[in-house]
Amino acid sequence: MEEACSGFTRFDFCQILDATDNFSEKMIVGWGGFGKVYKGQLPGGLNVAIKRADEHTAMLEVNSELQLAKLQHANVIRLLGWCIHGKERILVYEFMQNGSLDRYLCARIKGPLLDWSKRLKIIKGLVEGLVYLHKHPMLSIVHRDLKPNNIILECDMTLNISDFGSAKTLSPDVTEEHTCRVVGTSGYIAPEYASRGVYSLKTDVFSFGILVLETISGRKNTILDKRGDTVGDLVRDAWCIWKDRIRLHELVDRSLGHGYDIAEVVMYAQVALLLLCAQEDPVDRPAMTDVAAMLSSESMSLPMEPKEPSALSEGGAGEDTYINRSSRTIDITITSSATVLTRVRFIIDPEV
């Protein structure tokens, strides 16, 4: 780990204890598959976010986050330093005063603070950040766990993509990879990744589409406990509203009142649904570079109409459908919207 940390500040463990008031629960500002995140203050007065790996976090995940933390982009969180003390593995990041996007979506008090222009800024920042990750000169980077909790906002609502513990890299000549350990969050995880462990750049594209719909609507995307559901209730509702254009205003967060441009709502909703148009075949989703081109088009028009996801006509399924039937064993880690982490291992006999 120390080799991976080269180029970053090494903090003393006592500094970390002082900054977090001995890891006080009142200092916790977030948590995830990596561990808990604390707000801290260094001796010079600088506020920082301190990620403390829990005992179940694999060293591979820590090293993955460290390697990708070296990325430099306005929409990617910046690592400041690290600390190793016995079994303690700690990463120190710059602190974003406005916290994560999930604090604003679906919140009666904070939701109205996100006016339409701020929501568009968040979506555009996410596009730019993902284009950078996907088109990195050396390796394409798949985040694999894009969700509101991992979108951190600065004071001016500039977006930062964070938490690269689940991220993977793809070499230029590889379009997709397979894993027997699926790590993701219910409501945001791409169907092909959840069911078969196949991930690619299009895995993030699916999650992006969900985030766009949530940012527009102020609603969470919930996977319904019905057989066959791979996309969630928000996608289902958005599609029904899309088919009846005169109801499109119903997709917009009510806290915005009439403070939005309906033409822009049409465009962003169409982009989101276009990304979700073919659940079984991620090839039909556009690349993030294509999404960027669509959103920067002065004509605000898209080359095609979104197709209805076939999963919408088949009902829904719960998390128990996330099984890889082509492998004998698959580990699945799915975080629910209530931030409860579930780890399950299925042993499958393909001959049964």
Active-site residue, from 102, 145, 229, 253: 145
What is the CATH classification number for the domain harbouring 290?
A: 1.10.510.10
Q: Are residues 205 and 315 in the same domain?
A: yes
282 and 147 within one domain: yes
Q: What is the pLDDT of residue 326?
A: 36
In the predicted structure, residue 144 carries a pLDDT above the cut 50: yes
Q: Is the pLDDT of residue 126 over 80?
A: yes
Are 188 and 77 in the same domain?
A: no
For the residues 227-249, what does the mean pLDDT come to? Answer: 82
What's the structural domain count of the chain?
Answer: 2
Q: What is the pLDDT of residues 287-334, one digit of tens each?
A: 999 899 888 875 545 556 666 766 555 544 433 333 333 333 444 455
Domain that holds residue 296: 101-347
Q: Looking at the structure, do residues 33 and 130 belong to the same domain, yes or no?
A: no
- The mean pLDDT value of the chain amounts to 80
51 annotated binding-site participant = yes
Q: Is residue 3 part of a domain?
A: no
Domain contains 232: yes
- 32 and 142 share a domain? no
How confident is the model at residue 348, as a pLDDT? 40
For residues 86 and 33, state if they share a domain: yes
| Of 89 and 340, the one with more pLDDT | 89
Of the candidates 61, 94, 127, which is a domain's last residue?
94
Q: What is the pLDDT of residue 87?
A: 86
Q: How far apart are CA 30 and CA 244, in angstroms?
A: 39
pLDDT tens sequence across 2-37: 555 567 889 999 999 999 999 999 999 887 667 889
Q: Looking at residue 119, what is its pLDDT?
A: 95
Q: How far apart are CA 148 and CA 159, in angstroms?
A: 11
**Which pLDDT band, with edges at 50, 70 and 90, does 182 fall under?**
confident
| Other Cβ atoms within 10 Å of 88 Cβ, number | 13
Angstrom distances, CA of residue 217 to CA of 113, 237, 337: 14, 11, 16
DSSP output for 43-97? TTS-EEEEEEE-TTS-HHHHHHHHHHTT---TTB--EEEEEEETTEEEEEEEPPT
Residues in the chain: 352
Which of 76, 94, 112 is the last residue before a domain boundary?
A: 94
With respect to residue 246, please indicate whether it lies within any of the assigned structural domains: yes
| Rounded Cα distance, 97 and 222, in Å | 28
Domain shared by 198 and 336, yes or no: yes
| Same structural domain, 25 and 45 | yes
The reported pLDDT for the residue numbered 337 is 46
The pTM of the full predicted model, rounded to 2 decimals, is 0.82
Q: Given this model, what pLDDT does residue 16 score?
A: 96
CATH number of the domain within which 52 lies: 3.30.200.20
pLDDT score for 59: 67
List, in sequence order, every residue forming a beta bridge with 177; answer none if it has no partner.
Answer: 199
By percentage, how much of the chain surpasses pLDDT 70?
A: 75
145 is catalytic: yes
The pLDDT score that the predictor gives to residue 340 is: 45
Look at residues 75, 94, 113 and tell me which one is the last residue of a structural domain.
94
pLDDT digits (tens, 9 = 90+) for 54-105: 876 666 667 767 767 677 899 998 889 889 898 888 999 989 988 899 988 8
The residue with greater pLDDT, 184 or 340, is 184
- Domain co-membership, 35 together with 165: no
Do 132 and 225 fall within a single domain? yes
How many angstroms separate the Cα of 82 from the Cα of each of 5, 10, 39, 42, 99?
A: 7, 5, 15, 13, 21
| pLDDT tens track for 242-290 | 888 788 899 999 989 999 999 899 889 888 887 775 555 787 788 999 8
What is the C-alpha to C-alpha distance for residues 63 and 4, in angstroms, rounded to an integer? 7
